[in-house]
Amino acid sequence: MKKSTLLAEALSPEGEKFSLFERDGEYTIRVGGLDLMSTRQHASEEKLAQLACAHIAQSPQARVLIGGLGFGFTLKAALAALAPTATVVVAELMPAIVEWNRHPDYQLAAAALNDPRVAVVLGDVGELIKRHPGSFDAIILDVDNGPEALSAAVNASLYHRSGLLHTKAALRPGGCVGYWSAAPDKGFAKLLERVGYRVEVQSARAHGSSGSWHTLFMGWRL
């Protein structure tokens, strides 16, 4: 079996080392020796975007916020679901992740990032959410492993009551927020309900019909 090749490394704002590896055309980002994301597993991220954007698929002025670029699968799925005149804002905490996706030698998300509907904002998606009340029809948050943050402590605030309330305030009436999680979390679903969302929880396979199960928390602003 071919060995993984280390392509690049970068430090998070908190000093965690992110490493980009490639093997046989597949890419993986590791944090602290653990796989954070891989191009082998993306069906659940695509499903998250499809669910979050379904209610605005035909809306010419739809505005969507995606927290966390990853390898761009959530972004690509959102663009496929939305009208040609929609706007998609991508907030990414780590500049290196954007650079790796734009790299001409890597088969990642350069084309999606060059879509005229896309605007990239470098920084904390939680702070962006606070600054834009009533601005988005859908917010898609795939910034970490879910309510149990793995890669950056700053992400944890998104899943606390205050973070949920700020996110709800950033949605337009009837808007939807979607949270990706590596594992189920009944407490988080109940917290979404307590802050006033209509909640639906779905499970999705990493590979569509195989692989590990991930959890998608969907909340609609009433």
Q: What is the separation, in whole angstroms, between the first and last Cα of the chain?
A: 52
Alpha-carbon distance of 137 to 128, in angstroms, equals 15
Is pLDDT of 6 > 70?
Answer: yes
Domains of the chain: 41-221 (3.40.50.150)
Alpha-carbon distance of 74 to 97, in angstroms, equals 14
By residue count, the chain amounts to 222
Tens-digit pLDDT profile for residues 135-172? 999 999 988 667 765 445 567 789 999 999 999 999 99
pTM assigned to the model: 0.93
Alpha-carbon distance of 68 to 149, in angstroms, equals 13
Tens-digit pLDDT profile for residues 64-91? 999 999 999 999 999 999 999 999 999 9
